[in-house]
Amino acid sequence: MTFNLSNVALLADSFYGAGMVRFAHGLLVASAPTSTDAHNEWDPGVAPIHAGPDSLYISVRQAASGHVGVVCIEGPYSPPGLDKLFAGEISLPDASLAIYDPNGAMGLRLPVAGKRNRIEVYGDDPEESSQVCIVLTEIA
């Protein structure tokens, strides 16, 4: 999914938010705003995405290689041109998702449809994506 206004217009009813920044350390976090998941056991060389109960650590392209585009969509949705890199569940006690990097280059807090969600991460590269689509589908 290339970011352009026509894509956003097509998804307007299911669009949560988006941003495009340089990630200094190549780490994108998607989590409940109150998450305390430490991800201490994560080795990005072994697994580019690591999940906790209410958060994901996602390896993305580092700043020296360019910007990373991130979009969050209400599912179900399968973005064209991107590969599914992860599928699982995430608990969002406040029905809100924070998308950020530890250096503060990106800091989104998005209200979402539900507290329990299926989460899918799509990207253009399994190791260091330059385009990431996070799809949340509420679990009833």
Give the domain extent around 16: 5-35+43-138
The edge-to-edge listing of strands for the beta sheet with 15-21 is 15-21, 68-74, 131-138, 116-123, 83-91
Spell out the per-residue pLDDT of the chain, length 140, in tens: 455 555 655 677 889 999 999 999 999 999 999 999 889 899 988 999 999 999 999 999 999 999 999 999 999 999 988 999 999 999 999 999 999 999 999 999 999 999 999 999 999 999 999 999 999 999 98
Q: What is the CATH number of the domain that holds 95?
A: 2.60.34.30
- 83-91 and 55-59 as β-strands: parallel, antiparallel, unpaired? unpaired
Instruction: Give me the number of domains the chain comprises.
Output: 1
Contact 111, 98 (CB under 8 A): no
